[in-house]
Copies of this chain bind each other. A is one copy, B any other.
Amino acid sequence: MPKIEVCLSPALLHLYNTEGANVVIIDIFRATSTIAAALDNGAQYVLPVASVDTCIDLGTQIAHSVTGGERDGKVAPGLQNGNSPLEYTKDFIGGRPLILTTTNGTRLLHMVKGAKNIIIGSFLNIDAVSKFLVEDGADVLLACASWKDRFNLEDTLFAGAVCKKIGDQFSMNCDSVRMARTLHKQSIDVGLLEFLKDSSHYIRLSGFGLEKDMEYCLTPNLHPVLPLLRGDKLVI
């Protein structure tokens, strides 16, 4: 039976064997939610890059591309758009490449080595991701992007939700999995949004007026796509 594990921070990634595994990158607020939304709305591909400067450079080189990314909750200077799934509507992003720079998700994605597949996971596409993991059958690592390497609740809740859905198809001898499942179970009664209202990230982002964004990011299966990394691009 393949195994499923949860990595709580990029700073713990070295403890896990990603060779041949399906690695799901999780950055609920908001990189992986935005990627799922943009691709479902017709983006040709998403190119994740680490720095604002690279993002600007590539934006001038790639025809018809859109650049996006935030620093401290605002559109980064020199970029056209932010990191909100609500910005990348069909009318706007359809048929165009999105070059995206984010603080946590992009970095983690570039750290993973030797994976069978690197998959973008969010509540917006949770069932598509879960179905793929079961059908493919390789070992799974649910990798939380966290916040500057610090544990966060929303990424862990997503990991717990996936384990709840498909855990019985995998072995789960990992305390992170047990914890994520327990957290997720606790969140069901009150609802994800309510459960997260005193979390660090919710407090930080609501300071920028991004409550609607977060509500959107927590809505299951609005964008039922399976974004996979192929070369340096995310495609569906």
**Interface of A with B (CB < 8 Å)?**
8-9, 11-12, 15, 148-153, 156, 173-176, 178-179, 182-183, 185-186, 198-201, 203
Check A150 against B15 for contact (C-beta < 8 Å): yes
- Cα A8 to Cα B6 in complex, Å, equals 14
- Cα A8 to Cα B8 in complex, Å, equals 9
**Chain B: CB-nearest residue to A150:** B15
Q: In the complex, which of the residues B12, B175, B201 contacts A11, with contact meaning CB atoms closer than 8 Å?
A: B12
> A-side binding surface: helix, strand, loop or mixed?
helix
Give, as a whole number of angstroms, the nearest-CB distance from A190 to chain B: 11
Give, as a whole number of angstroms, the nearest-CB distance from A72 to chain B: 17
A174 cross-chain contacts in B, Cβ below 8 A = 150, 200
Check B173 against A153 for contact (C-beta < 8 Å): no
Check A178 against B153 for contact (C-beta < 8 Å): yes
A149 cross-chain contacts in B, Cβ below 8 A = 12, 15
- Which of A8, A149, A152, A185 gathers the greatest number of chain B CB atoms within 10 Å? A8
- Which of A174, A179, A198 gathers the greatest number of chain B CB atoms within 10 Å? A179
Q: In the complex, which of the residues B11, B15, B148, B153 contacts A179, with contact meaning CB atoms closer than 8 Å?
A: B153
A148 cross-chain contacts in B, Cβ below 8 A = 15
Known: A11-B12, A12-B149, A12-B150. A179 touches B176 (CB 8 A): no
Q: In the complex, which of the residues B151, B153, B173, B198 contacts A8, with contact meaning CB atoms closer than 8 Å?
A: B151
Q: In the complex, which of the residues B153, B175, B203 contacts A152, with contact meaning CB atoms closer than 8 Å?
A: B175
**Chain B: CB-nearest residue to A199:** B175
List 13 A–B pairs whose Cβ atoms lie within 8 Å, in order of A's numbering: A8-B8, A9-B12, A11-B12, A11-B15, A12-B12, A12-B150, A153-B175, A179-B179, A182-B182, A182-B183, A182-B186, A185-B186, A186-B186
